[in-house]
Amino acid sequence: MIDSGSSFPMALSVGLLLCAGLPSIGRAQPPEAEIGGGRSEVAGGPPAAGAVAQEGVEASNSAPSPEQAAARLALDAPEAAPIEPDVEALRAQLAGLRTPGGLTAIEAARRAVARAPSLERAEASVRVARAAAARVRLRILPQAEISARYTRLSSVDNPDLVPGFSFPVILDQYALRISATYPVSDVFFRVLPAHDAAVGAVEAQRVRGEVDAAEIAARTREVYYEHVRALAALEVARSAVAQAEAHRGHVEALLEGGVISQVELLRVRASLASARVLEARARGAVNLSRRTLAVLIGEDEASVGVGEDLTSVPPPGRQDREALVAEALERRPEARALRQLIVVEGRRSRAAWGSQLPQFLVQANLDYANPNSRFIPQEERFGLTWDLSAVLRWSPNEMLDARAEMSESRARVAELEADLQALREGMDVEIVQALEEEASARAALTASLAAVVAAEESYRVRLAQLEAGVAVSSDLIDAEAELTRARIELVDSVVALRIARVRFDRALGVRGWEP
């Protein structure tokens, strides 16, 4: 938990730790204050009122502005410099946000992708496409058919061919036929292009599943960092409450000594109530973000914990916009899915082109009939015969239908190409936006660090002035509010930088659920 009475050196350590790797960030020496107290300490007992007043006035005149604090922080520190003990202590405090066995953002994204219902549907779509491809592949085989027939004929009188001889009339007839037809021309001009299109459709469906996975992973990582933001804001709110309670104790002591009036205590109590409201709101935000993250990863809230190292800052991303857009076009699953669908429509168009050509078929039949019409004269017994045919057929209706299908495929290709161009333009804007958000977050991190440094010093000075009787409680209340706001903005800037990196990865096509 972040200490409620964190001092100027502690705020500086926060910035040093969180801004590791940022340019122009270094160390600043604190004013005359001891580490850990949040107020000036003088050896040998409490100072006299005049001495405290003089110190407060001098400290007020020497309190750095945010710009001055930022300038004092602009000291080049080598990356390999040893970590100061106070930084190590602060690292332990920040580690309080981490839960043993907790999740990282990538691990949370992986779990969300593994159990997302939309991805189960995408996998089912892939299986449907594979079944369609298998069905088209079966058309390569000969078309076999077996039929059995029984026929009862009406009785007729056949004239004699010669006196005393006529063909017999067989009223009950039985036939068994086995036939096989092989579409020789269709295999090359229709079936194979259609099969290639079906196989391409399987790949397109698989890539569409990656699109859903990328969206889910990015959303989960953002929710994760929002949960981190809420947890850190809750720690800040608790620090504000503890600080306000300590302030109330100071004011009550001063009131008992007759230094201040009753109205100052009332103001402090109102400030404490506001701090507690802030804490309650922060606690509600934590509960909501924890529940949202638990739903996304499909686990109970008790297992949702932060296990990521929050003391490191992602390195700056590349700034070559054209190269980034080109890379995104190659990596983004949306672009790969559109390119695959364009290929699929081209293969379907070739299959439709083959449908307008004449068909060449080879057909074989095997007849086992009683009587068999191939035997003359007919006899009431089974006979086995076969035949083999080469068939050439053409249908103008099928030709017109094939041309309409070709026109439809070409139109769909034009739609997909327009979608791909729109996606490219959108990715250009998305990458620029992600780069600008990251740059803004880094600048905000530097500025918020300076604001925390200045707010810590301002609070120390106001507290000293209040104890000396040269300031009123409203001055210290304003300083407390400024300090709380600066700490929250520091947390926001840290989280905003990580969210900006998530969006940059999403724009570039990085698989956000893989390390």
Is 149 a domain residue? no
Q: Cβ neighbours of residue 60 under 8 Å, at least 6 residues apart?
A: 461, 465
pLDDT per position as a tens digit, 390-418: 999 999 998 999 999 999 999 999 999 99
- Which tokens go with 310? 């929050």
The number of angstroms, rounded, from the C-alpha of 389 to the middle of its chain's C-alpha atoms is 60
- Which tokens go with 382? 């089974």
Q: Which amino acid does the sequence have at 45?
A: G
CA separation for the pair 73, 66 (Å, rounded): 10
- Residue 69: predicted pLDDT: 41
Is 240 a domain residue? yes
- Residue 487: predicted pLDDT: 78
Is 184 a domain residue? no
Residue 10 has pLDDT above 60, yes or no: no
Asked whether 264 and 472 are in contact (CB, 8 A), the reply is yes
Band of the pLDDT at 161, cuts 50, 70, 90?
low
- Residue 96: predicted pLDDT: 64
Query: Mean pLDDT, to the nearest integer, of 57-66?
Result: 44
Q: Cβ neighbours of residue 471 under 8 Å, at least 6 residues apart?
A: 56, 462, 465
CA separation for the pair 260, 258 (Å, rounded): 6
CA separation for the pair 10, 13 (Å, rounded): 5
Query: Mean pLDDT, to the nearest integer, of 170-190?
Result: 92
Band of the pLDDT at 95, cuts 50, 70, 90?
low
Is 162 a domain residue? no
Domain range for 482 is: 8-119+208-330+424-508
User: How many domains, in total, are found in the chain?
Assistant: 1
Residue 94 has pLDDT above 70, yes or no: no
Mean residue pLDDT of the chain comes to 78
- Residue 29: predicted pLDDT: 35
pLDDT per position as a tens digit, 193-248: 999 999 999 999 999 888 989 999 999 999 999 998 898 888 878 888 887 888 78
Residue 88 has pLDDT above 50, yes or no: no
Is 128 a domain residue? no
Band of the pLDDT at 53, cuts 50, 70, 90?
very low
CA separation for the pair 352, 457 (Å, rounded): 78
pLDDT per position as a tens digit, 294-329: 999 988 887 788 888 777 777 777 778 888 888 888
Is 503 a domain residue? yes
CA separation for the pair 481, 270 (Å, rounded): 12
Q: How far, CA to CA in Å, does 86 sit from each of 13, 221, 238, 387, 452?
A: 7, 31, 21, 97, 17
Running DSSP on this structure, what letter comes out for residue 3? -
Asked whether 225 and 499 are in contact (CB, 8 A), the reply is yes
Asked whether 260 and 469 are in contact (CB, 8 A), the reply is yes
Least Cα distance to 185 among 18, 366, 412, 398 occurs for 398
Residue with tokens 């109970």: 300
| Burial class of residue 404 in the structure, from the number of CB atoms within 10 Å of its CB (0-12 exposed, 13-18 middle, 19+ buried) | exposed
Q: Provide the percentage of residues in the chain whose pLDDT is more than 70.
A: 79
Is 192 a domain residue? no
CA separation for the pair 38, 242 (Å, rounded): 12
Q: What angle do CA 188, 194, 195 make, to 5 degrees?
A: 90
Query: Mean pLDDT, to the nearest integer, of 433-462?
Result: 85
Residue 13 has pLDDT above 70, yes or no: no
Q: pTM, whole model, 2 decimals?
A: 0.66
pLDDT per position as a tens digit, 453-494: 888 888 888 888 877 777 777 777 788 778 878 877 877 888
pLDDT per position as a tens digit, 347-391: 999 999 998 999 999 999 999 999 988 888 788 889 999 999 999
How many beta carbons lie within 10 A of that of residue 12, not counting itself?
26
Q: What angle do CA 356, 361, 364 make, to 5 degrees?
A: 160
283-290 long-range CB contacts below 8 Å, 24 or more apart? 283/234, 283/237, 285/230, 285/233, 285/234, 286/227, 286/230, 286/231, 286/234, 288/230, 289/223, 289/226, 289/227, 289/229, 289/230, 290/227, 290/230
Is 169 a domain residue? no
Question: Which domain CATH number covers 489?
Answer: 1.20.1600.10
Asked whether 109 and 216 are in contact (CB, 8 A), the reply is yes
Instruction: Give the sheet arrangement for strand 143-152, strand by strand.
Output: 143-152, 172-183, 359-370, 383-393
- Residue 164: predicted pLDDT: 66
